[in-house]
Amino acid sequence: MRVESQSTGRVLGYVQVQVASRTYALRVEALPAKNGSDEDRRELGFFADGNDGYGILIDGDASPSEVDQIIEKASVDATRHISRKVLN
């Protein structure tokens, strides 16, 4: 998980996760995973933008099965992160 302040990806849609009685919408954004050097490489999966906004970053060139795997893992990570923040 990472904290990010600016969205630069192409929004593909939203995934909803439920924590307690609230439902959170996570935007799914597609970016190339490799942006040149290793320092510029972006981490795929769940991210928080610092303003209670959440999202999932995927590789725009990934296969549908890879996208499904990333979204599934990121949804679990998001639920865990939001649970710790909201329920504690």
Question: Do 71 and 56 touch, CB atoms closer than 8 A?
Answer: yes
Range of 57's domain? 2-87
pLDDT confidence of 3, banded at 50, 70, 90? very low
pLDDT digits (tens, 9 = 90+) for 45-81: 999 987 778 999 999 889 999 999 999 999 999 999 9
Position 27: which residue type? R
pLDDT digits (tens, 9 = 90+) for 9-54: 789 999 999 998 999 999 999 986 565 555 445 689 999 987 778 9
Whole-structure pTM value: 0.78
Judged against a pLDDT cut of 80, whether residue 4 lies above it is answered with: no
pLDDT confidence of 5, banded at 50, 70, 90? very low
pLDDT confidence of 88, banded at 50, 70, 90? confident
Q: How many domains does the chain have?
A: 1
Q: What are phi and psi of 75, to 5 degrees?
A: -65, -40
